[in-house]
Structure 1
Amino acid sequence: MAWNQPGNGNNNDRDPWKNQGGRDQGPPDLDEAVRNLLSKFGIGGSGKKGGGSSSSSGGFPSKGFGIIAVLLVVVWFIAGFYTVKEAERGVVLRFGNFHNLVESGLHWRPVFIDSVEMVDVSNVRQFQSEGFMLTQDENVVHVELDVQYRIINPRDYLYAVENADNSLAQATDSALRYVVGHTTMDEVLTVGRENVRTNTLELLENIIAPYQLGIQIVDINLLPARPPEAVKDAFDDAIAAQEDEQRFIREAEAYAREVEPTARGQVRRILQEAQAYREQQVLKAQGEIARFNELLPQYNKAPKVTRDRLYLETLEKIYANTAKVMVDVEGSNNMMYLPLDKILEQQRRNTDSSSNMSGSSDGQNSTSTNSTRSNNSRQGTSTNSTGRTSDRYDGGRG
């Protein structure tokens, strides 16, 4: 039967808005709604309206504690997930003590029990050490050193020393000052920079090895050193002079490489010419021997004729290379002055020129002979300086 069906004498008691006794009490009480909600979870007491006694005295039932515990466990479990990046490694501490290392990826740890510290082990780090340092020759120089390193052991890097980066910087400064202190200033500024870099790297690695910093030195770079500003100009001049010295040395070496092959070629040419001259003289001597052997039987048969012939041949050879002056004064008693010294001097010059100029010696001699003949012909003098003797003989030996 409907709640508002006529004839029902108790309709007011069945009002859905709980208007008991026919009185309109408005919307439900908010406090009552909250208590009803809490009562469903077993939290709080359910009492009668009007100050009735509650079924419990305000404690938490076991069901409520269980739900809260489950929620806390879920939150604790979810909070334990963490991610390690690709370039990092995780150092896990359990109750503050080292537990293990974890690689990159998703991991889980019990919160409040384990803690994780991330360390970048892939990227190369760097720092710079610089300062004014005293050299071996008691000069002051400003040196800068760039150090590149990376972490290879995260545990040692975090816990072997108090501050690994600071320890590395101090070790670098110590190694650099030691090496510079055993090197002259000229070497630090110019030619010895590579030695300073190599020695510093070797000494730095030996210094940090016992401390187990968990760091590996990738490379160090010695930046250009410079002297103090008060003496900078003088050292610039010294460096320029050293550069000029190296340049002159390289130019001399290049000149030596250029001249040496030429000199060797000249040596080979001289040796070949000497060998050819030697063979020529040997063959000439052998020819003279053969000629003498052929001439000896003729001399034995006709000694006088052979001697005369040899005499004439010898004179022919002598006169062929000697200036000759023939004076014909027939029918004249006048004494004429002949510049014999000039003629002989000119002949000697012509002879020297002919020995130096292989192709044009004959033409020069002919020109000189013609000129001499032309000058002497006006004085009744005939000069003949050709390659062959043109003496006139009356017959027999003159």
Structure 2
Amino acid sequence: EAIGRRNIQNILTIDQAAIAAEIRQIMQRIMDDYRSGVNIRVVQLLSALPPAQVRNAFLDVNAAQQDQTRVQNEARTYANQVVPEARGRASQILQEAEAYRERVVAEANGQASRFTQVYEEYRRAPAVTRERMFLETMERVLGNTDKIIIDQSGGNAVQPFLPLDQLLRRPAQDPASPAAAARTQR
């Protein structure tokens, strides 16, 4: 009765303890119905094997179920690893995008504020502001260049005969020069 209500797979694998407990209860009930005075204490299933004709098929099914369980566990493990990593990466990208947005907005606000300040100065003194902006621009443009300035306001009495293009070139250090010799001795 206890075995007849169960699946063969469960009988041969996982339900043996439950089956033994159920058989004990059924047997005890029968003994009590007969008023035999017998008390069934333990039922132990000694062997639960499939018939020899289907043993190989049973083993194949059992192996397939174990493989299924293993693959499902591997998939869960992989998902538990990949999903949090992907969520973390997505969160990082969102934070970087938010920081970029805040930086761009702050820069734009700063530029707008600077423009407003320059405009206010321009409204108060247009000529002075124009001159200052021109000088600041020239300073930025010419700040890192080599310059030679020739004053011709005194007339054309002095003609620039120097090779100006060669003055801008940096002279190569002569190894025999005293400065080069002093550097090598240090």
Instruction: State how far apart, in whole Å, the 2-side matches of 1:249 and 1:224 are.
Output: 30
Instruction: State how far apart, in whole Å, the 2-side matches of 1:216 and 1:263 are.
Output: 62
- The answer to whether residue 57 in structure 2 is matched with residue 229 in structure 1 is no
CA contact (8 A) 2:24 2:41 kept: no
Aligned equivalent of 1:283: 106
Task: Indicate how the Cα distance of structure 1 residues 193 and 254 shifts in structure 2: closer, same or farther if over 3 A, else same.
Answer: farther
Aligned equivalent of 1:208: 31
Alpha-carbon distance, 1:302 to partner: 3.9
Aligned equivalent of 1:197: 20
Aligned equivalent of 2:168: none
Aligned equivalent of 1:259: 82
Mapping 1:98-247, distance limit 5 Å: 178-247=1-70
Instruction: State how far apart, in whole Å, the 2-side matches of 1:200 and 1:212 are.
Output: 18
Alpha-carbon distance, 1:241 to partner: 0.6
- Please report the TM-score for the alignment, with normalisation by the length of structure 2: 0.54
CA offsets 1:299-337 (integer angstroms, 9 cap, x no match): 54549x59x97xx9xxx9xxxxxxxxxxxxxxxxxxxxx
Instruction: State how far apart, in whole Å, the 2-side matches of 1:270 and 1:201 are.
Output: 63
Aligned equivalent of 2:167: none
Aligned equivalent of 2:72: 249
Mapping 1:1-398, distance limit 5 Å: 178-300=1-123, 301-302=125-126, 305=130
Amino acid at match of 1:243: Q
Aligned equivalent of 1:28: none
- Please report the TM-score for the alignment, with normalisation by the length of structure 1: 0.28
Amino acid at match of 1:276: A
Instruction: Out of 271-280 and 239-248, give the one that drifted further.
Output: 271-280
Structure with more of its chain in helix, by fraction: 2
CA contact (8 A) 1:190 1:239 kept: no
Amino acid at match of 1:270: I
Alpha-carbon distance, 1:237 to partner: 0.8
Secondary structure of residue in 2 paired with 1:181: coil
Amino acid at match of 2:68: E
Which 4+ stretches in 1 moved above 6 angstroms?
A: none
Unaligned runs of 5+ in 2: 142-186
Secondary structure of residue in 2 paired with 1:179: coil
Instruction: State how far apart, in whole Å, the 2-side matches of 1:195 and 1:266 are.
Output: 48
Alpha-carbon distance, 1:180 to partner: 1.5
Instruction: State how far apart, in whole Å, the 1-side matches of 2:101 and 2:24 are.
Output: 67
Secondary structure of residue in 1 paired with 2:59: helix
Instruction: State how far apart, in whole Å, the 2-side matches of 1:209 and 1:267 are.
Output: 68
Instruction: State how far apart, in whole Å, the 1-side matches of 2:126 and 2:109 are.
Output: 25
Alpha-carbon distance, 1:238 to partner: 0.9
Aligned equivalent of 2:158: none
Instruction: State how far apart, in whole Å, the 1-side matches of 2:36 and 2:47 are.
Output: 29
Instruction: State how far apart, in whole Å, the 1-side matches of 2:3 and 2:40 are.
Output: 20
Task: Indicate how the Cα distance of structure 1 residues 293 and 244 shifts in structure 2: closer, same or farther if over 3 A, else same.
Answer: same
CA offsets 1:242-279 (integer angstroms, 9 cap, x no match): 11111212222333333344334324423432332343
